[in-house]
Structure 1
Amino acid sequence: MIRSLLASAALLALAAAAQAEQVFPAKLAGHAYLPAFTMVAPPADAPRDAWTSGKFTAGARNDKPMSVMGDVGANYGKHTTGISLPFLGQPVQGMSGFAMNRAADGSVYTLTDNGFGSKVNSPDAMLFFHRMKPDFATGTVERAETVFLRDPDRKVPFRIAYEGTESRYLTGADFDPESIQFLNDEIWIGEEFGPFVIRASLDGRVLSVHQTMLDGQALKGPDTPGVVVPAVAGKDFRVQRSGGYEGMALQPGTNLLWGMLEKPLLGEDGKPEGSFLRVITFDTAKRDWTGTSYKFQLAEGATAIGDFNFIDDTRALVIERDNGEGDASVTCTGEDKSACYPLPAKVKNIVLVDTAKVSDDGFIARIGTINLMDIQDPDNKAIASIVGPNATAGKLTFPFFTIEDVMRVDDTHIMVANDNNLPFSGGREIGKAANNEFILLDVADFLAAKGE
């Protein structure tokens, strides 16, 4: 009983510290976007099935292109987004992670996630990563290259959706890739279903797949291959659905991958073990887990993280967020939700942490935060045509459900981007799908902070 009370007191103290940490200002230094409706053609040797994607998102098979309007879902007001499924081709969608290291030409490695949100509805959504070149002078984003993931050498330890094909391209029924790193001409991907770490070549060939190990036991979720119904939460699996690796940072010098789960693990009672996330380290040289893990304390109101990237040998950036979407100035106040946001964005932070400062209980130190709902724009860098009718002069908010990309650009700037979940997310304007926005933030004091 005493031990339990002490543990509870420690967690309360950590949560209080998170609330008290310094909030640093952020100034918009650049704004660019990739239009929401951005498609890419599958490779010539892909199965014909992949040339029309999103056929299984409406509950029953639908082969008629652009026949079912997308919407944001009941929790967010069921507003339509102006874009319909199924798609001819594959949606580039929003970005779901930035790699710390850039390509030789300066482009940024990023990736698209599983497709339409689940294993069941994404068997025709191909998996791929990109090299992107945001141009903040013109406000545009160039997709320099898209690389499709495939498993010709049968490294994936379970049956894939396109198992019987010669090309063996991967789909959203196989993996949910959410984070990416580039190291020694190889790509490392953290994914959610396993959760797995995937190693791939620069041309998309899977080289190895690694099941997550924590304290000597394999971590599993409800979508891990081999977990079958009936399965008991907390006993048969501990990772929440959509709770695998949303962030996976590459540590300079050590080349360790620090994989951070998106949501808290489940305890034996089937409930979250706390308001913190597990961080598990993987040795890229040995291609094995180190056996060391840490904890990241979420701030009050935050429910998940979106990305995780180092800025030097020990300090790193973490996106923490709530499940809200849309500007709070248009919050619903009555039963009619047709022109308002029933669950507006409130907690959308970039957190600076120091992995060299760890408490006795394994918690990584939080140094400070940036509030993405309060970005200053004195120079009017925001692109007026896409910020929508709720914009305030001299200020920019980033009110998206899933903000999943952050990286250091230089000593004074970071870059942030959203995942637009095409065609299921809005955020800027009711009735319109969210674009894939990239923002460049001037945060010199934040990046210089060292903490106590």
Structure 2
Amino acid sequence: MKLRALLASAVAVVALGGAANAQETTFPAKLAGHAYLPANSMIMPPANAPRDAWVSGKFTGKARNDKPMSAPGDTGAAYGAHPTGYSLPFVGQPVQGMSGFAMNRAEDGSIYTLTDNGFGGKANSGDALLFFHRMKPDFDTGKVERLDTIFLRDPDNKVPFRLAYEGTDGRYLTGADFDPESIQVLNGEVWIGEEFGPYVIHATLDGRVLSVYPTMLDGKQLRGPDTPGVSVPAAAGKDFQVQRSGGYEGMALQPNTNLLWALLEKPLLGEDGQPEGAYLRVLTFDPAKKDWTGDSYKFKLADGATAIGDFNFIDDTRALVIERDNGEGNVSVACAADATDKSACYPNPAKVKNIVLVDTAQVDGEGFIRRIGHIDLMNIDDADNKADMSIVKNDESGRFSFPFFTIEDVMRVDDTHIMVANDNNLPFSGGREIGKAANNEFILLDVADFLAAK
């Protein structure tokens, strides 16, 4: 179903750039619940998975490393190289990397959530299995229960390129094959938005791949530098148009139409190899027809935002989008501009971490989806003291922040609440406390005015 380019004059001010962002309404958010899954949460591979997968993260350094827990993880030089307290390789597979919530829940009320490609890249994640979960956060106890983990596999040879575990009986998928970043469940089947291709993956609820769909825009396939078939040297903008780590970070399922709205994480590249603009493309896929609709739209990033994290509808046309900068850690512990010792401060603190409410039924003449308003995840009211102070550091009394590098999960809970979670990138991200790995945190937010906004 094509969207209507309605109300252009009403939305142009909101959609078109920095000056508009200053006028956009910032709605209040109140913390209603806080739960977490510990950073060091590991699971064992299926019994018939290759033995190689029983120790993961062997290829994250400059050379192969088979000795478990011998290489300490840290946040990287750009983030102060703070240690995180965990070392690679891991025995088992880390649950880390919550990278998307499905809009529809399981029959028991649990939520579907997705783990991404493993350790951040195609080259270093060949021993990281791909899977999704059913989880149940309990905001009364502060615990997150993992009810089930479903490993993705390709027994019917549906993937159109060679797998890392091609010659194995199980044909389990790994982070060298795909980077799954968003998930939706429709009619008892799973649809996954992926970054490397970028692809849309169709699978069963028990993890068997049914089809893999390349991305088509204006009659041409969009490719990234990690798409199979793109070889070095490759010209940005000509041989590939999708930036590295710029494929589908969010993919929303629209009620009633059942269209998948796939949102790229970064701007597309033009023929000159430069980003086409400070906006992201949204393309629509029809699961019933198993094809792209041909429609595409634009999502305008706020000043300071560099990427999106998740995308989910809350009704027939309005949806939530996470937008973020690349910062990590509370600004109250930011490094001084002239600091040389950054071991006890954040050189790149979190500043822009928003949940944006958009209306997909209101699109201006240039194709921009209307931004209704947003909430600021760095400034949440915690007057009721819902935060778990055993893990929260550096927040002011009565205020709560979510200062993580990658915040990649959002969904509507009811008419007044949403739930948000982070991707903790184990063992490469901190954010709460210097020297400690980030946990997988789930927060329940009371945002009644925000959800009612039109």
- Shorter-chain TM-score bucket reads over 0.9
Q: Is the 8 A contact 2:359 2:371 kept in 1?
A: yes
2:258 aligns with one of 255, 258, 262: 255
Residues 1:28 and 2:31 are matched in the alignment: yes
Aligned to 1:82: 85
1:270 aligns with one of 262, 265, 273: 273
Aligned to 1:380: 385
1:214 aligns with one of 214, 217, 221: 217
Q: Is the 8 A contact 2:15 2:371 kept in 1?
A: no
Cα distance, 1:96 vs structure 2: 0.2
Mind listing any 5+ residue stretches in structure 2 that lack a counterpart?
1-11
Cα distance, 1:273 vs structure 2: 0.7
Cα distance, 1:53 vs structure 2: 0.1
**Deviation sequence 1:142-188 (CA, Å, 0-9, x none):** 00000000000000000000000010000000000000001000010
d(CA) in 1 for partners of 2:188, 2:255: 15
2:131 aligns with one of 128, 133, 137: 128
d(CA) in 1 for partners of 2:97, 2:176: 19
Aligned to 1:119: 122
Q: How does 1:6-405 map to 2 (within 5 A)?
A: 13-333=16-336, 334-388=339-393, 390-405=394-409
d(CA) in 2 for partners of 1:234, 1:171: 27
d(CA) in 1 for partners of 2:88, 2:125: 12
Aligned to 1:427: 431
**Deviation sequence 1:90-119 (CA, Å, 0-9, x none):** 000031000000000000000100000000
1:438 aligns with one of 429, 439, 442: 442
d(CA) in 1 for partners of 2:24, 2:133: 35
d(CA) in 2 for partners of 1:118, 1:169: 18
User: What letter corresponds to residue 371 of structure 2 in structure 1?
Assistant: R
Q: Is the 8 A contact 1:18 1:297 kept in 2?
A: no
Aligned to 2:8: none
Q: Is the 8 A contact 1:195 1:221 kept in 2?
A: yes
CA separation of 1:12 and 1:138: change in aligned 2, threshold 3 A: closer
Cα distance, 1:269 vs structure 2: 1.1
Q: Secondary structure at the match of 1:75?
A: helix
Cα distance, 1:10 vs structure 2: 8.9
d(CA) in 1 for partners of 2:321, 2:314: 11
Structure 1 segments of 4+ aligned residues over 4 angstroms from their partners: 9-12
User: What letter corresponds to residue 391 of structure 2 in structure 1?
Assistant: I
d(CA) in 2 for partners of 1:152, 1:135: 36
**Deviation sequence 1:279-322 (CA, Å, 0-9, x none):** 00000100100000100000000000000000000000000000
Q: Secondary structure at the match of 2:19?
A: helix
Percentage identity across paired residues of the two chains: 79
**Deviation sequence 1:225-269 (CA, Å, 0-9, x none):** 000000000110010000000000000000000000000001111
Q: Secondary structure at the match of 1:386?
A: coil
Q: Is the 8 A contact 2:406 2:422 kept in 1?
A: yes
Q: Secondary structure at the match of 1:384?
A: coil
Cα distance, 1:12 vs structure 2: 8.7
d(CA) in 2 for partners of 1:303, 1:384: 30
d(CA) in 2 for partners of 1:378, 1:256: 39
d(CA) in 2 for partners of 1:179, 1:313: 19
RMSD: 1.1
Q: Secondary structure at the match of 1:96?
A: strand
CA separation of 1:437 and 1:11: change in aligned 2, threshold 3 A: closer
Q: Is the 8 A contact 2:53 2:127 kept in 1?
A: yes
**Deviation sequence 1:315-345 (CA, Å, 0-9, x none):** 0000000000000001111111010000000
User: What letter corresponds to residue 133 of structure 1 in structure 2?
Assistant: K
CA separation of 1:448 and 1:10: change in aligned 2, threshold 3 A: closer
**Count of residue pairs the alignment pairs up:** 441
Q: Normalising to structure 1: TM-score of the pair?
A: 0.97
